[in-house]
Amino acid sequence: MTKQIWLNLPVKNIAKAKDFFWKIGFSFNEQHDTPSSTCMVIGESHFVVMLFEESLFSTFSQNSITDTGSSSEVLMSIDAESKEEVDELAKKVTEAGGTVFAAPAESQGWMYGFGFADLDGHRWNVLFMDFSKLS
């Protein structure tokens, strides 16, 4: 039945959002770009995150856009290959203008990660998981 899943996110400014994600290391399938949207591709499985300017997003969501300053619509999690990669991405997020809301740290004895909000307040979680330490 299902061939693929992707995520759609509203953003205030496509160019600024794309620049932010580019600076932190994400890639784009630019053949799907329009003046009001862009196609971000994440990871080896090429998970697609479509970024749409809020005015366009609201036409097909037919709902109000979440105020990410006061609530979260979702927490998107991304895996990292090492603790060093987690630290490096946290640094890139800060340099690109994002907000680290949870500094890199150990969690539950087998995970190391951090949380950040992008320019539009969407929350992301980056984790290195050492399954050999999972008990």
Domains observed in the chain = 1-65 (3.10.180.10), 74-135 (3.10.180.10)
pLDDT at 71: 93
Sign, CA torsion 76/81/82/87: negative
Radius of gyration of the chain (CA): 16
pLDDT digits (tens, 9 = 90+) for 82-104: 999 999 999 999 999 999 999 99
For 24-39, what is each residue's pLDDT tens digit? 999 999 999 999 999 9
pLDDT band, very low/low/confident/very high, at 4 (cuts 50, 70, 90): confident
CA distances from 84 to 45, 75, 100, 105, 114 (A): 22, 22, 16, 12, 12
| Cα separation, 54 vs 36, whole angstroms | 9
Smallest Cα–Cα separation from 104: which of 125, 81, 131? 125
